[in-house]
Amino acid sequence: MKLPKEKQTSLGLYVTSTEAYEIWKDSPKKVKVLDVRTLDEYINIGHAKMAWNIPGFLQTYNWDAEKNCFSFKMNDDFIKHVQEVCKPEDIILVTCRSGGRSAFVVNLLDKLGYKFAYNITDGFEGDTVTDPESLYQGQRLKNGWKNSGLPWTFKVDPKLMRVPTHR
């Protein structure tokens, strides 16, 4: 399967949500699941039970007319927080909503010396349904952690979160 350019990384390490869960189950002390979505996404949409939330980006309130959404800016505390949680030799499975922001983060981790960072290409919510005949056309109900029957929760464990100090 050919990945869209926005999901490709410099390390070239890719897993689906299901594969990521199996890797984590085999070595939960060595493998970190890193959720780089915003705090609001992590809390209100849910998250993998074992996932660390270190937002890679913070949502702004500036409307991006081209993308038809509010824009994001890089979290100034991201690198510091990742270095508190992850060692360069750890296997890091990075997720976001659908694999784009996580690819960006994997590329950043590569530059910081993390060589075992995988992009979870279907993310937490998955890809959008693209069947115009489907009642679910345009909704994120195709693959992804949440749609694959993997363990997830709305419960927040503050020990697994690194909250940005700058907004």
Domains of the chain and any CATH numbers: 7-157 (3.40.250.10)
**Contact (Cβ atoms closer than 8 angstroms) between residue 75 and residue 164:** yes
3-class state of residue 153 by DSSP: strand
Strands (E), the chain: 14-15, 31-35, 47-48, 52-53, 57-64, 69-74, 91-95, 117-120, 152-153
pLDDT of residue 141: 79
State residue 128's pLDDT score. Answer: 84
pLDDT digits (tens), the chain, 167 positions: 689 999 999 999 999 999 999 999 999 999 999 999 999 999 999 999 999 999 999 999 999 999 898 999 999 999 999 999 999 999 999 999 999 999 999 999 999 999 999 999 999 998 888 889 988 888 887 899 999 999 999 999 999 999 998 76
Token pair for residue 106? 């994997």
Q: What's the pLDDT at 58?
A: 94
Q: How far apart are CA 124 and CA 121, in angstroms?
A: 9
Closest CA to 98 of 61, 126, 138: 126
Residue 1 confidence (pLDDT): 61
- The Cα 63–Cα 71 span in angstroms is 6
Check residue 62 and give its pLDDT. Answer: 94
Q: What is the pLDDT of residue 147?
A: 93
